[in-house]
């Protein structure tokens, strides 16, 4: 009876490990092949809006600010801040430290068509720990800032 | 069970490793300062340092032809070059020593003039200037607006007074020195329709010499050169064709071509034009009539040599359909050119060899 249980236990452990390996494999595959190299635009969103606040155009090498972020007057600054030299976009996130909302800094790279969150404040800092993305979305919570890649079917227009 | 488990680990790690061993990546290089054009280049390089080395060479190419083909100011006092188009235009009828680079470019332009039966001619600068002034003269240019009749008539009178002479450029060499003589009292040279494509072709030649397979060059909105696309299977680049009659953001383009290892140049009337009695007047002037012609809205030419494409698309733009067809019948195969016409009545006619053209669904 005891022997049987241990076999069952072993099988369970094996099954669980197998399951995790498969899931891990799928996850890695997804990250490797998601949009690989095909993305031509990365859109930055804030809050629940489906209108990108900033668009990074990897085809024509430009960053387009679509509209200003709606922030309270007490924040003495207009967001998003676009720095073409440092290649960064700065938004005001929702996460507060001592009652002050914290910034989220996104860095982009035209040649590699990549985006990275290089600065943020949040309990787990998940989105900055995601590293450089060339396809998978970067979602910063509780800052409610997200970056999603999109494709245009074209590479150039003449 | 163990075996399955192990093989899973193996497959996963192989997949991960195979993704990591790709040496090098695409780097971007861009310039704002040459030929009034934003040049943007994507090139495969081992690392940033190598890409920076490419950039130095490429920038030198664009800078060289920017300086040499400049027709509105002389060379800088400390320039390494002898003459540019501006200074040549001040010395009609004189024998002038020029740099080999400019000599070879002008020689090429003259070859295309002969090839296109005079429909491409760099010696009509005077006429081109009159039309350009009508469009973008600081004080009273009529860009995108209607030209009043009296202004239009004045331009026609001015243009008609200009006497164009044929075959005015004489190029000679002696003891490895290069000379030009513009045999006219007033003809003005203008390399605007060839120098950008020519310089871009030199960049392509340089990248090919280095055996770089993956690259793309976009020199302004009218001229591109591509190698292969690293990011897409088959190395294909999708190039959309700008709709010259666009009315809003939904009909920005009218079709798509799928290309690799090729150059594409478009000559069009849509980027800079003024209107008069429902016709567009633009900067591509026919050497035959001294007028901007209205046979097409755009002519797109595909081929191997961007300098040639730039000049040929300009020439074809001034040919009527019959002349264009006759010309293509004679030269298309030998030159390996493909042509897409967006006609004035918005119909599209293609003369393709292997490239796939798809018209947007309407």
Q: Tens of pLDDT along B129-185?
A: 999 999 887 566 888 889 999 999 999 999 999 999 989 999 999 999 999 999 999
DSSP string spanning B213-271?
-BEEEEETTTEEEE-B-TTSGGG-EEEEEE-TT--SGGGSEEEEEEESSEEEEEEESSS
The beta-carbon neighbor of A157 closest among B11, B229, B242 is: B242
Question: What's the pLDDT band for A1 if we cut at 50, 70, 90?
Answer: low
Of B352 and A64, the structure prediction assigns the larger pLDDT to B352
The Cα–Cα gap between B71 and B85 comes to 5
Query: In this complex, which of A18, A36, A111 lies closest to B8 when CB atoms are compared?
Result: A18
Q: Is the pLDDT of residue B342 over 60?
A: yes
pLDDT of residue B248: 66
Q: Which of A21, A60, A153 sits opposite B8 (nearest CB)?
A: A21
Closest CA to B287 of B309, B252, B256, B316: B316
Measured CA to CA, the distance from residue B12 to residue A28 in angstroms comes to 8
Contact list in B for residue A25 (CB cut-off 8 A) is 8, 11-12, 15
Q: Give the pLDDT score at B13.
A: 60
Q: Per the CB < 8 Å rule, is A25 touching B12?
A: yes
Interface confidence: ipTM more than 0.90:
no
Cβ proximity of A39 and A113 under 8 Å: yes
Provide the pLDDT confidence category of residue B20 given band limits of 50, 70 and 90. Answer: very low
Higher pLDDT, B44 or B251: B44
- Cα separation of B194 and B198, whole Å? 6
Confidence check: pLDDT of B348 > 80: yes
Q: How far apart are CA A113 and CA A151, in angstroms?
A: 11
Of the candidates B19, B30, B231, which has its C-beta nearest A37's C-beta? B231
Which region among A117-131, B8-22, B213-227, B249-263 has the lowest average model confidence (pLDDT)?
Answer: B8-22
Measured between beta carbons, which residues in chain A are less than 8 angstroms from residue B42?
Answer: 111
Backbone CA torsion sign across B122, B283, B341, B35 = positive
Nearest to B164 by CA among B111, B110, B127: B127
Kindly report, residue by residue over B174-186, the tens digit of the pLDDT.
999 999 999 999 9
- Residue B277 to residue B272: CA distance in whole angstroms: 17
Mean of pLDDT values over A9-28: 86
Distance from CA of A84 to the nearest CA of B (A): 14
Between residues 14 and 43 of chain A, which touch chain B (CB distance below 8 Å)?
A: 14, 17-18, 21-22, 24-25, 28-29, 32, 36-38
Residue of A nearest to B39 (CA): A60
- Tell me the mean pLDDT in the region B253-266: 96
- What does the pLDDT average to over B238-267? 89
Q: Is B87 exposed, middle or buried (0-12, 13-18, 19+ CB in 10 A)?
A: middle
Selecting from B25, B231, B300 the residue whose C-beta is nearest the C-beta of A158 gives B300
The confidence band for B9, taking pLDDT boundaries of 50, 70 and 90, is: low
Q: Can you give the pLDDT at residue A6?
A: 75
- The pTM score is 0.74
| Contact assignment for B265 to A60 by CB distance below 8 Å | no
The DSSP secondary structure of B51-93, one letter per residue, reads HHHHHHHHHHHHHHHHHHH--SSPPPTT-S-S--HHHHHTSTT
Q: How far is the alpha carbon of B237 from chain A, nearest alpha carbon, in Å?
A: 6
8-state DSSP, B293: -
Please report the pLDDT score of residue B232 as a whole number: 83
Q: Give the alpha-carbon dihedral of B283, B286, B287, B288, to 10 degrees.
A: -160
CB-CB under 8 Å, B16 with A61: no
DSSP labels, A27-87? HHHHHHHTTTTT--EEEEEETT-SS-SEEEETTTTEEEE-S-----TTS-S-SSEEETTTT
Instruction: Determine the average pLDDT of the residues in B209-228.
Output: 93
pLDDT at A27: 76
Contacts of residue B300 in chain A, CB cutoff 8 Å?
158
> Would you say how long chain B is, in residues?
362
CB B188 within 8 A of CB B89: yes
B217's CB contacts (< 8 A; 6+ apart) are: B39, B40, B41, B42, B200, B203, B204, B224, B225, B226
Is the Cβ pair B28, A111 closer than 8 Å?
yes
Inter-chain CB proximity A32 and B223 less than 8 Å: no
Query: What span, in angstroms and rounded, lies between the C-alpha atoms of B158 and A133?
Result: 59
Residue A36 above 80 pLDDT? no
The pLDDT of A48-75, averaged and rounded, is 87
Mean pLDDT of chain B: 92
**Which chain B residues touch A if contact means CB-CB below 8 Å?**
1, 4-5, 8-9, 11-12, 15-16, 19, 25-28, 30, 40, 42, 216, 218, 221-224, 226, 229-232, 237-242, 252-253, 256, 264-266, 300
Q: Compute the average pLDDT of residues B280-299.
A: 96
Cβ–Cβ of B238/A28 closer than 8 Å? no
Q: Which residues of chain A lie closer than 8 angstroms to B12, CB-CB?
A: 21, 24-25, 28
- Summarize the confidence of residues B328-357 as an average pLDDT: 97
The confidence band for A4, taking pLDDT boundaries of 50, 70 and 90, is low
Residues of B in contact with A110 (CB under 8 A): 28
Per-residue pLDDT tens over the stretch A101-133: 999 999 999 888 899 999 999 888 888 888 888
Please tell me the predicted confidence (pLDDT) of residue B138: 56
Tokens of B140: 């009273």
Confidence at residue B21, expressed as pLDDT on a 0 to 100 scale: 45
Q: What is the mean pLDDT of chain A?
A: 85
Contact B5 A158 (CB under 8 A): no
Determine the Cα–Cα distance for residues B338 and B351; give it in Å rounded to an integer.
Answer: 6
| pLDDT tens digits, B25-74 | 888 888 888 988 888 899 999 999 999 999 999 999 999 999 999 999 99
Decide if B122 contacts B109 (C-beta within 8 A).
Answer: yes
Question: For residues B330, B332, B336 and B342, what is the CA-based torsion angle, rounded to 10 degrees?
Answer: 160
B182-200 pLDDT, tens digit each:
999 999 999 999 999 999 9
Percent of chain A whose pLDDT exceeds 70: 91
């Amino acid at each position: 009876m005891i022997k049987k249980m241990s076999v069952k236990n072993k099988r369970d452990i094996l099954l669980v490990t197998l399951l995790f390996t498969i899931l891990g494999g799928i996850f890695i595959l997804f990250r490797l092949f998601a949009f690989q190299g095909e993305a031509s635009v990365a859109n930055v969103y804030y809050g629940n809006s489906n209108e990108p606040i900033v668009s990074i155009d990897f085809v024509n090498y430009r960053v387009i600010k679509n509209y200003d972020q709606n922030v309270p007057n007490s924040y003495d600054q207009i967001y998003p801040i676009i720095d073409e030299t440092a290649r960064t976009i700065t938004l005001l996130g929702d996460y507060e430290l001592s009652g002050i909302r914290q910034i989220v800094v996104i860095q982009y790279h035209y040649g590699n068509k990549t985006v990275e969150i290089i600065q943020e404040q949040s309990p787990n800092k998940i989105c900055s720990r995601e590293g450089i993305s060339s396809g998978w979305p970067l979602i910063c919570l509780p800052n409610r800032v997200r970056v999603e890649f999109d494709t245009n079917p074209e590479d150039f227009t003449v | 069970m163990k075996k399955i488990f192990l093989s899973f680990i193996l497959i996963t790690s192989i997949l991960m490793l195979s993704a990591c061993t790709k040496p090098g990546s695409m780097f971007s290089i861009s310039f704002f300062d040459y030929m009034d054009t934003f040049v943007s280049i994507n090139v495969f390089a081992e690392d940033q340092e190598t890409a920076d080395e490419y950039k130095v060479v490429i920038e030198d190419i664009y800078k060289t032809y920017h300086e040499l083909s400049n027709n509105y100011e002389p060379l800088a006092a400390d320039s390494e070059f002898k003459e540019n188009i501006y200074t040549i235009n001040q010395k009609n009828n004189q024998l002038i020593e020029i740099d080999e680079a400019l000599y070879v470019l002008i020689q090429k332009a003259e070859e295309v003039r002969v090839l296109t039966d005079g429909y491409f001619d760099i010696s009509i600068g005077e006429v081109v200037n009159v039309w350009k002034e009508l469009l973008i003269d600081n004080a009273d240019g009529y860009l995108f607006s209607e030209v009043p009749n009296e202004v239009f008539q004045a331009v026609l009178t001015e243009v008609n007074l200009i006497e164009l002479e044929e075959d005015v450029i004489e190029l000679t060499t002696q003891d490895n020195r290069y000379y030009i003589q513009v045999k006219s009292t007033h003809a003005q040279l203008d390399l605007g329709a060839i120098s950008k494509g020519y310089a871009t072709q030199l960049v392509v030649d340089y990248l090919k010499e280095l055996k770089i397979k993956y690259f793309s060059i976009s020199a302004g909105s009218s001229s591109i050169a591509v190698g292969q696309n690293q990011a897409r299977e088959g190395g294909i680049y999708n190039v959309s064709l700008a709709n010259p009659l666009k009315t809003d953001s939904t009909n920005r383009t009218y079709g798509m071509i799928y290309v690799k290892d090729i150059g594409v140049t478009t000559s069009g009337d849509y980027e800079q034009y003024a209107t008069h009695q429902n016709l567009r007047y633009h900067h591509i002037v026919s050497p035959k009539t001294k007028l901007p012609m209205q046979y097409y809205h755009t002519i797109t030419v595909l081929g191997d040599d961007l300098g040639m494409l730039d000049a040929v698309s300009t020439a074809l733009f001034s040919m009527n359909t019959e002349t264009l067809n006759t010309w293509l019948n004679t030269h298309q195969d030998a030159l390996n050119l493909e042509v897409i016409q967006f006609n004035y009545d918005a119909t599209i006619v293609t003369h393709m060899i292997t490239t796939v053209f798809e018209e947007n669904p309407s």
